């Protein structure tokens, strides 16, 4: 069902037929991002997750913009957009405080990518959404509550 919803979204958002991306199996395989922070991803509460992710000391900043619905009816697909206006930002980390495993993901920007990401996440319950950014080696954080009508972690 989600698949169909996504396809509809896709067709609505972009002109039909424009979304062709040829599979490139014949080309050399690119190096994937090294590593996966297992202890942070498997942490079962927000205190552990931010500790293992190394961002527990992040300073509050209003220069981080979080765009997310105030009320998310479907916790399985919560659109989240994060923009950092802090110069030198090269990483954005997302946490959903009340998820069974709160660390959602790390996005690292290089070679001309702007400090911006738009994606969709699962939220198990009404919770604070926490965006942490790294700029010139320092961490900053902004939070925003999202009310979730139907949780999306068992789906």
Partner 1 sequence: MTRPIRMRVRLDGDLAEIRALIDHPMETGLRKDSKTGELVPLHFIQNLTVSLNGKPVLETQWGQAIARNPYIQLRVRGARVDDEVSIEWLDNQGERGRASAKVPPPG
> Which residues contact residue 122 at a Cβ distance below 8 angstroms, ignoring those fewer than 6 apart?
75, 76, 77, 78, 96, 99, 152, 153, 155
Stretch that binds partner 1, among 57-65, 99-107, 125-133, 135-143 (CB under 8 A): 99-107
Which of these, 150, 149, 56, 33, lies nearest to 102 by C-alpha position?
56
Q: Which of 62, 70, 87, 111 binds partner 1 (CB under 8 A)?
A: 111
CA 134 to chain centre: 14
**Whether 99 contacts 148, CB under 8 Å:** no
Which contiguous run of DSSP H or E holds residue 152? Answer: none
Q: Which of 48, 63, 120, 125 binds partner 1 (CB under 8 A)?
A: 120
Residues 42-71 that bind partner 1 (CB under 8 A): none
Other Cβ atoms within 10 Å of 8 Cβ, number: 10
Under the binding rule (CB under 8 A), the answer on residue 117 touching partner 1 is yes
Under the binding rule (CB under 8 A), the answer on residue 123 touching partner 1 is yes
Under the binding rule (CB under 8 A), the answer on residue 108 touching partner 1 is yes
Stretch that binds partner 1, among 61-69, 95-103, 129-137, 141-149 (CB under 8 A): 95-103
Q: Least distance from C-beta 153 to partner 1, angstroms?
A: 6
Tokens matching residue 32: 């994937």
Gap between the Cα atoms of 45 and 16, Å rounded: 42
Under the binding rule (CB under 8 A), the answer on residue 139 touching partner 1 is no
**Whether 79 contacts 118, CB under 8 Å:** yes
Q: Least distance from C-beta 5 to partner 1, angstroms?
A: 9
Give residues in contact with partner 1 (CB under 8 A): 2-3, 6, 10, 13-14, 18-25, 27, 29-33, 35-37, 41, 76-78, 81, 96, 99-101, 103-114, 116-123, 152-155
């Amino acid at each position: 069902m989600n698949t169909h919803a996504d396809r509809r979204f896709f067709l609505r958002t972009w002109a039909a037929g424009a979304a062709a991306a040829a599979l490139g199996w014949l080309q050399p395989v690119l190096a994937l991002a090294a590593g996966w922070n297992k202890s942070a991803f498997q942490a079962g509460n927000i205190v552990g997750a931010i500790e293992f992710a190394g961002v527990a000391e992040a300073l509050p900043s209003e220069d981080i913009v979080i765009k997310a619905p105030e009320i998310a009816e479907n916790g399985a697909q919560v659109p989240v957009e994060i923009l950092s206006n802090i110069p030198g930002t090269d990483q954005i980390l997302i946490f959903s405080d009340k998820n069974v495993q709160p660390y959602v993901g790390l996005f690292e920007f290089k070679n001309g990518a702007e400090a911006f990401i738009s994606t969709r996440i699962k939220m198990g319950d009404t919770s604070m959404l926490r965006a942490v950014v790294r700029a010139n080696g320092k961490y900053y954080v902004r939070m925003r509550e999202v009310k979730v009508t139907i949780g999306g972690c068992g789906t």
